[in-house]
Amino acid sequence: MREEALQAIQEAPDLDTLQAVKTRYVGKSGLVTKELGSLGKLPPEERKSRGAEINALRQAIDAALTEREAVLKRAALDAKLASEAIDVTLPGLSLPAGGLHPISRVYDDLIRIYERMGYAVVEGPEVEDEHYNFEALNVPWYHPARDLQDTFWLEDGRLLRTHTSPMQVRYMVDHEPPLKIVVRGKVYRYEATDATHESMFHQLEGLVVGDGISMADLKGTIAEMARGLYGPSAKVRFQPSYYPFVEPGADFAVWWDNPRGESKWLELGGCGMVHPNVFKAVDDLREQQGKPRVYEGKTGFAFGLGPERIAMLKYGIPDIRYFYANDPRVIGQFRGEL
């Protein structure tokens, strides 16, 4: 019986079977238990040695049971862990995730630079009055500059702003100098689209007004922006130009030190010293609203630039129309790092 019992214990494949073996030998009516119970029927001289024998058997079986039980428990635990394990090296499910549009990224860069210089960031209406978009900016109805900015007219006589400059006027009507603002937003031009022209695009407008503001301040500001965008070695270039709302006016370009080798002057936008007629138009509007005239005699500069141009160069985007076609193959490349 000893061999048989120990073998059954050794070979029990699982805990249930082991329990059955245990019951069979050392349970209440198990074989060993019965043997112990029948000791009383033996003659006293046999009883002692037989008793010792059966006790030894029982101890051997108990020990074997304990050992086998530990082995089987361990195996059961291992199997459970293995079946519940998560393989962290398996590829994950890719969920559709959004990302910042390249134009938003460029705006964020620009606005960080201007906020560091103490500018407030404002926005204004895309549907604009003719007066703010043109007249108050020193562009009368017969002025040829209106042809440069072919306009989407609305049926009610208003228009889609052709630039962010009308916000210069709106802001000055509502605020007294000194002031430093940048304006971000969409602008619209009624013109044929091609790789470098869209009928909707973006601008960042700057306006600084105070006492004794000079062209040197303007140049220093644009240079600081260039360094913020392209690093400490960035250079700026100003060329005389004409915008009715500034005098003198200039176009500015930034030297872009492209690590990929296509370094060039990037024509970024227009700028100049705020024209006295603009200050006068602002004071006229303020007066109509019962506000004091505070702009005549002040000085200031303004600039306007297009984030699309920066983004096209920065990200190597060859066609401005890609920005707004909402093709996920294009836009999807701008996930991840901000």
165 binds ligand PHE per the rule CB under 6 A: yes
Binding mask 46-65 for ligand PHE (x = CB under 6 A): --------------------
Beta strands 120-122 and 179-188 are parallel
**Which single residue is written with the structure tokens 């000085």?**
299
Confirm if 57 and 2 have CB atoms less than 8 A apart: yes
Confirm if 315 and 103 have CB atoms less than 8 A apart: no
Give min distance, CB of 335 to ligand PHE, in A.
31
252 binds ligand PHE per the rule CB under 6 A: no
Name the DSSP letter for residue 138. T
Burial (CB < 10 A; 0-12, 13-18, 19+), residue 16, is exposed
* Amino acid symbol at 32: V
> Which position among 22, 58, 163, 202 is part of the footprint of ligand PHE (CB under 6 A)?
163
334 binds ligand PHE per the rule CB under 6 A: no
The helix (H) or strand (E) run that includes residue 116 is helix 102-116
- Residue 144: asked if its preceding bond is cis (omega within 30°), the reply is no
> Which position among 119, 238, 295, 303 is part of the footprint of ligand PHE (CB under 6 A)?
303
**Which C-beta is closer to ligand PHE: that of 30 or that of 306?**
306
Q: Which stretch binds ligand PHE (CB under 6 A): 5-13, 91-99, 214-222, 270-278?
A: 270-278
Give min distance, CB of 337 to ligand PHE, in A.
31
Residues 6+ apart with CB under 8 A from 28: none
Name the DSSP letter for residue 270. E
Binding mask 197-236 for ligand PHE (x = CB under 6 A): --------x-------------------------------
Binding site for ligand PHE (CB under 6 A): 163, 165, 205, 243, 246, 249, 269-272, 302-304
